[in-house]
Amino acid sequence: MIERFTLLLLAFAISIPADTLRMRDGSTVNGDFQGATANDIRFSVNGLIEHFARANVAEIIFGAVDAPAAAPTPAPAQNAGESGPDYIGAPFLRGASGYIPLEKAYATAARMGGVYGMGGGTVYRVQGAHSSVRVRQSDRIVFVVRLDAGDDPRQFQLYRLDSRMGYRQTQPVYGGAPPGLVLSIKKVGDSVYEMTPARPLYTGEYAISPANSNDSYCFGVDY
């Protein structure tokens, strides 16, 4: 399970992007985020790639995130062959310096209302009232996922979650899956896809989850 990180996204940075790792022992490392797996973070320090155990990292501070485009522009040629995140099957946020891991949680089903637990709607809950992964409403929110060959990116659904005391949950449903928000999907590499919310997201809590799985990849949107 991917450990939760507090990701401080500095949207107002206009200098050359520089990221910082804040370690659990209080020390910091400056460089450029290069990617992450479930247990490892790759960071470029003085031009050299170094590896850091995720368990030793308290926070990743990003120098900048992708700003909203002023006008549509052609995609760079290299995107046609984008290799995507190292971790297969998990969506990541696209940042200015690499892929930003989302908070991974497991959703459990619970009954709402009804009599003695019968006849009420079903909700899906994850622990914690707020995600540790935060973006701003003004950020350009783009997710990137690398799949096994033949897997369909349309399996992923984006949900808005209600924040309660100690947990977040979907809207109640009376059969079937909770209603999801529309994602625009574009292939950018071999089994690599971009997923972009079709409409701007309001402030609040969200999760992306693949169909037929309770794995949830969570984040929050702030002003």
For residue range 129-182, what is the model confidence (pLDDT) as tens digits?
A: 999 999 999 999 999 999 999 999 999 999 999 999 899 999 999 887 888 999
Let me know if residue 145 belongs to a domain.
Answer: yes
Structure tokens, 20: 């910082």
pLDDT above 70 covers a percentage of the chain that reads 81
pLDDT, position 152: 96
* pTM, 2 dp: 0.64
Contact 178, 124 (CB under 8 A): yes
* Residue 213 forms part of a structural domain: yes
Q: How far is CA 120 from CA 114, 115, 123, in A?
A: 4, 7, 10
206 belongs to a structural domain:
yes
71 domain-assigned: no
H helical segments located in the chain: none
Structural domain contains residue 88: yes
Q: Specify burial of residue 77 (Cβ count, 10 A radius: 0-12, 13-18, 19+).
A: exposed
* Residue 153 phi, psi dihedral angles, 5° rounding: -65, -20
To which residue do tokens 């009232």 refer? 129
The answer to whether residue 73 is domain-embedded is no
Number of domains in the chain: 1
Per-residue pLDDT averaged across 211-219, rounded?
93
pLDDT of res. 63: 63
* Average pLDDT of span 194-202: 96
In the chain, which ranges are E strands? 6-9, 19-23, 28-36, 40-45, 48-53, 57-62, 92-94, 99-101, 103-106, 108-112, 121-127, 134-136, 143-146, 156-164, 167-169, 183-189, 192-197, 204-210, 215-222
Residue 97: predicted pLDDT: 85
So what's the pLDDT on residue 118? 56
Question: Three-state SS for 105?
Answer: strand
Domain annotation covers residue 1: no
61: containing domain? 6-66+78-222
- Per residue in 97-124, pLDDT tens? 899 999 999 999 998 765 555 557 899 9
Max Cα separation, the chain?
63
Q: How does pLDDT run across 49-72, given as a tens digit for each residue?
A: 899 888 788 777 776 444 444 444
The distance from CA 85 to its chain's CA centroid, rounded to whole angstroms, is 12
